[in-house]
Amino acid sequence: MPALEQLVVDIATAMAERTARGRVADYIPELAKVSPAHFGLVVATADGHEVVAGDADTRFSIQSISKLFALVEALSRDADAVWRRVGREPSGSAFNSIVQLEAERGRPRNPFINAGALAVTDLIAQDDDPRAGAGAILRLVRRLAGDDSIAIDSAVAYSEAATGHRNAALAHFMKAEATIDGPVEQTLSTYFHQCAIAMSCRQLARAGRFLVHGGRDPASGEAVISAERARRINALMLTCGHYDASGEFAFRVGLPGKSGVGGGILAIAPGRASIAVWSPGLSAQGNSLLGTEALEMLAHGMGWNVFNPDPAP
Ligand code: GLU
């Protein structure tokens, strides 16, 4: 695909020249140590090619991108329980908003805001071993990426555990409203560990391929989830994957995507490609500034969007 290869080179070159790169998240102290100079991009195409640029193999903290994998794991265990706990509406609020949760009596709007993710993770954390829940999510990610070297960065997990008071507030409030069953500390610990999974863009793009192919992992041929569930997860990523900037992302990029405060974004062009981008500087809403711009250039250049797909150039 020469057009795609040239486009990816052009995007990486343009991003390297940017001086306004956003702000690295510093509310989790370990994340503040990451240089905003990084940029990585990997496009894993439906026909099995990987087009890469920049820091494609440098591992970063996937943070909220883990909410996607936690949702897949929880839906596989008990989909009815997931949808009893969380809704499917965009929040229009910040990722860690408390006010909306109280107004709506402890039922989070969707599984991708922090409150919703904590409620989903609580379903996975129900186990005697406090490490089991994050371990199950890690095993899923390793299987999807075909890479057993993927691991949890415990320094990041401890750093967030020491400072994650807003998440603790959300979890305690949901426990009071019976949205969360388990011991709050166990749910929080599982959540902080899943967020601390470290992956490169190459690993992340591989882990997203099942959403390109209607739920089927192209590497193994295995149906990870049904085609209907894959469609619905893509819908949630489009409407809720970027918090209160989800509308803006749909407007600019037009693809389902999930961001994390580590600066990564996983975007899916159904039937075309799984795309992972990483640039640690964030916008005011907590999404990668250059990552979003790079995806906009890529989606536009390739005619990849879910609303009005154009033929590839
Ligand atoms: N662990 C982060 C938090 O809960 C994830 C947020 C994000 O990546 O958007 O604050």
| pLDDT < 70 regions, the chain | 1, 127-131, 309-313
Contact yes or no for 283/289 (Cβ under 8 A): yes
User: Which of 24, 66, 243, 274 is the catalytic position?
Assistant: 243
Q: What is the pLDDT of residue 43?
A: 98
Whole-angstrom CA distances from 259 to 4, 126, 309 are: 23, 26, 23
Q: What is the pLDDT of residue 2?
A: 76
**Architecture of domain 64-197 in CATH?**
3-Layer(aba) Sandwich (3.40)
Long-range contacts of range 98-101, CB-CB < 8 Å, 24 or more positions apart? 98/166, 98/169, 98/170, 98/173, 101/170, 101/173, 101/174
Instruction: Name 277's bridge partners.
Output: 41, 265
Which DSSP state fits 135?
A: H
Compute, in angstroms, the gap from residue 7 CA to the centroid of ligand 1. 31
Compute, in angstroms, the gap from residue 215 CA to the centroid of ligand 1. 26
pTM here is 0.97
Q: Is 243 a catalytic residue?
A: yes
Domain ranges of the chain: 2-59+199-302, 64-197
Q: What is the pLDDT of residue 130?
A: 61
Q: Which of 164, 165, 196, 202 is nearest to 44 (CA)?
A: 202
For 31, how many CA atoms within 13 A lie in the half-sphere containing its CB?
27
Residue length of the chain:
313
Q: Is 33 a catalytic residue?
A: no
Q: Does this chain's domain 2-59+199-302 share its CATH topology with 64-197?
A: yes
Q: What is the pLDDT of residue 128?
A: 61
The three-class DSSP label of residue 162 is helix
Compute, in angstroms, the gap from residue 104 CA to the centroid of ligand 1. 21
Give the number of other CB atoms < 10 A from CB of residue 62: 31
Query: Which spans in 164-305 are helix H?
Result: 165-176, 184-195, 201-207, 209-212, 227-240, 246-252, 289-302
CA 164 to chain centre: 19
Say yes or no: CB of residue 95 within 6 Å of ligand 1: yes
User: Which of 224, 261, 277, 306 is the catalytic position?
Assistant: 261
Say yes or no: CB of residue 114 within 6 Å of ligand 1: yes
Distance between CA atoms of residues 19 and 307, nearest Å: 32
Which atom of ligand 1 is nearest to 117's Cα? 4
Q: What is the pLDDT of residue 251?
A: 97
Q: What is the pLDDT of residue 290?
A: 98
CATH topology of domain 2-59+199-302: Beta-lactamase (3.40.710)
Compute, in angstroms, the gap from residue 71 CA to the centroid of ligand 1. 15
The pair of three-digit structure tokens given for residue 1, joined into one six-digit string: 């695909």
